[in-house]
Amino acid sequence: MPMIYQPRIGEDELFAAQLELLMQNGRVASMSSNCIAALAMVALLWPYFGLLPLLLWASLVLLLLLLRSLHMSNALAGHSYQREPRRLFWRLVFGALLTGGVWSATYIAVAPHIPPTLQYVLLLIIVMITTISLAVMVVVREYFLAFLFASLFPIAWWSLVHLWEQPHNLLVGAVLLGVCALLLVVSNWIHSSFRSMIALSWEREAMARELGELTGSLRDRNRQLKAARRQLTDLANIDELTGLGNRRLVNHVLRQEINRARRSHGELSVILIDVDHFKLYNDTYGHPAGDEVLRRLGDILTRTTSRAGEVAGRYGGEEFILILPGADADIARRTAESLAELVREAAIPHRSSATSDRVTVSQGVFTAAPDGDLEPINLIDAADAALYQAKAEGRNRIVTA
């Protein structure tokens, strides 16, 4: 059995899994936060710029977000993250750059025309969007960094460059650069955690698949072993030529039935059958024809054993045996007569026989009520003695011991 090992995810599979996770989780969360922020900007700025320009700006922002969301949906549906991950990666980064650039450009454009307090509110909105995006974008670190440096970094430098225009621009620029540095460090740490989580999840799924396949393989192997065991049992107990039980099975069944009859104080009958002049038949018609006769007799014996528990077997060569649990001497005699009749009806030609021009059988019948000393060999010997007498009296007859 092969050893179970925990495979490690390859870099390509890990990168594709990162892209898939980013689009599944980031598409709704980041787009929703950007939409809310755009509506908040409209609500805050319309007294200063009028409603129509702001609605036009918001429409363009929403269109950009919609296009990005549609692109991610198509990439997920088409499994582009598996087929062309690098190309998809650069498209996503470009979208993040474009969205972040919209926020920084909007702030830089409106900041000189609004009060400082409102500037800080707008800046807080942009910082909140970036912070919220950290949770869902950082699974692909470059994607988050593109948004971070496109949205906050230009505002930080613009504030430093215009430090004389507003009393707090120097502080705002310095704080924003510190925020960028902090988010950069945090994003590296979270990104590493995400990669480890994805790798561990993939490895667990791979192990679960392997265990499932191994379980299925073991289940199949068990079925095969059971089938092989049944086949071996059949080979050990079934005569290959006739399909009847062989001597091993006959002895086993006899012992069981003797014990059962002993416990129930019932009777047990055995019929030993021999094909008359079978050696002459083989000499005349050939061994293949003789085998066919034995097969046909096997079928006849199977039809004769109609009661539950009755067993027909080939005891050796041209000798057959019937085990009749619960059958008294009369029932056993009738069974033997029925068998002889079926053999006559088969009308198998036998021109070399001194008894008949058809194949006939001699039968020895023995019935006993088993006691503590009776063994299977005793039943066989008694039936064989009756069979020997039937053959001595001219064959094609039934003798009851």
d(CA 134, CA 139): 9
Residues 6+ apart with CB under 8 A from 185: none
Residues 6+ apart with CB under 8 A from 42: 51, 54, 55, 57, 58
Q: Are 322 and 305 in contact (CB under 8 A)?
A: yes
Amino acid of residue 255: R
Active site residue 292: no
d(CA 386, CA 271): 9
Bridge pairing between strands 311-316 and 268-275 = unpaired
Q: Are 269 and 324 in contact (CB under 8 A)?
A: yes
Residue 7 carries which DSSP code?
-
d(CA 227, CA 394): 47
d(CA 129, CA 100): 10
Bridge pairing between strands 311-316 and 398-400 = unpaired
Q: How big is the CA angle at 309 (ends 308 and 311), to the nearest 5 degrees?
A: 115
Nearest to 163 by CA among 176, 150, 148: 176
Helix (H, G, I), strand (E, B) or coil at 259: helix
d(CA 266, CA 43): 103
Bridge pairing between strands 361-368 and 398-400 = parallel
List the catalytic residue out of 318, 319, 345, 375: 318
Q: Are 23 and 125 in contact (CB under 8 A)?
A: no
Which residues are known to be catalytic?
A: 318
